[in-house]
Structure 1
Amino acid sequence: MRPDSLDDSAALAMELLDIVPKVLRQMHTDALNSEILAEPDREDLSEIRTTSGQLSLLRILIERKCCMMQELARQLGVTPSTVTAMVKRLQAQGYLERSRDEADWRTVWVKPTARAQHLVQLYDRGRLASLERRLARLSETEREHLVAALPALRHLIEG
């Protein structure tokens, strides 16, 4: 369903809610199956078994260097038990390390490994290459429309 006019906010909202997740899913799939990257890099990506939620968790850790489990749950908008399951899986894959706080043993700190940093860099390269390929298929006019829409899209995510 395409909005017929700029006044049809509900239709525009539905269109955005439909298309944005699809684009992101396609880029995620392309990044994990990326044939664009050099052979050794592609091999690293083919071995991962992470979801977009786990990649978000790794991004938070890479940005913050170290984080408490409770803070990860809050940042991701999930329950502590969900974060615990994600952390256990990523730790088993060698993407992060857990440690107990020396002053309060109940507090668990999580930090990314060098392997996690490498994984996120490879994933980002694959995702970027996917989007660049898709953008290259657009006409000049379509690309101009996207460029013109960027300020409005940025405004959507501000406060």
Structure 2
Amino acid sequence: MATTSSDLAASPMGVGERTDPHDPMLPARLRLAVGRLNRRIRVDSGAVLPPLQTSVLVTLEEHEPLRLSELARREAVTPPTMSRVLAALDDAGLLVRTPDPQDARSALVELSADGRAMIERLRTERTAMLAERLERLPEDQREALAAALPALEALVALPSS
């Protein structure tokens, strides 16, 4: 009997099993596992910001200062959506807007000190949560994750097609 994506959503398929690297379900299983792990970390750490707001803070940390339009492009959202996200972050005191010296109609967005502290807090909480979950795995599964990490990092670094 063939495995379907609905089967994957209903059961923890493959938990503790070795996976064939040529299994046609590998991409679906990997996507589900990574997505669910990401959500579990957010939920268990008591995420205080929605995912897009968190992502915007990290993007600003890496590339600030940025215009709203550039942030929207980097986050793959529309400018009106980014405007709402920035308004919420601004209301929370997590960013600073300054006039763009090259275009008086635009503003540059940067993290505030509170924004930097928020990112650090989120990283610390989420890393601790993941460390706790990793400790509950058997040694052979932790070793498998350590061995898979370079491949996962390479997946992230691959350019979009």
TM-score normalised over the length of structure 1: 0.82
RMSD (Å) for aligned C-alpha atoms: 1.7
Task: Give the match for residue 12 of structure 1.
Answer: 26
What do residues 104-145 of structure 1 show as CA deviations (whole Å, max 9, x unaligned)? 222221111100111110111000000000000001111111
The residue aligned with 1:146 is 145
CA shift in 2, pair 1:150/1:102, >3 Å:
closer
1:74 aligned residue: 73
> Cα deviation per residue 1:33-83 (whole Å; 9 max; x = unaligned)?
6xxxxxxxxxxxxxx4x2111011011112233111111011111111111
Q: Quick check: 1:32–1:123 contact (8 Å CA) kept in 2?
A: no
Secondary structure of residue in 2 paired with 1:106: strand
Residue identity (%): 32
Amino acid in structure 2 at the alignment position of 1:84 = S
* Structure 2, unpaired ranges of 5+: 1-7
Q: How does 1:46-125 map to 2 (within 5 A)?
A: 48=48, 50-125=49-124
Report the structure, 1 or 2, having the larger helix content: 1
Q: Which runs of 4+ in 1 moved over 4 A?
A: none
User: What is the CA–CA distance in structure 1 between the aligned matches of 2:152 and 2:33, rounded to whole Å?
Assistant: 14
CA distance in 2, matches of 1:97, 1:128: 27
The answer (yes or no) to whether the contact 1:31–1:124 under 8 Å persists in 2 is no
Correspondence for 1:30 among 44, 48, 53: 44
Q: Which one scores higher on RCO, CA 8 angstroms, separation ≥ 6?
A: 1
Q: What is the TM-score normalised by the length of structure 2?
A: 0.81
Equivalent residues of 1:31, 1:125 under 8 A apart: no
Superposition deviation, residue 158 in structure 1: 2.8
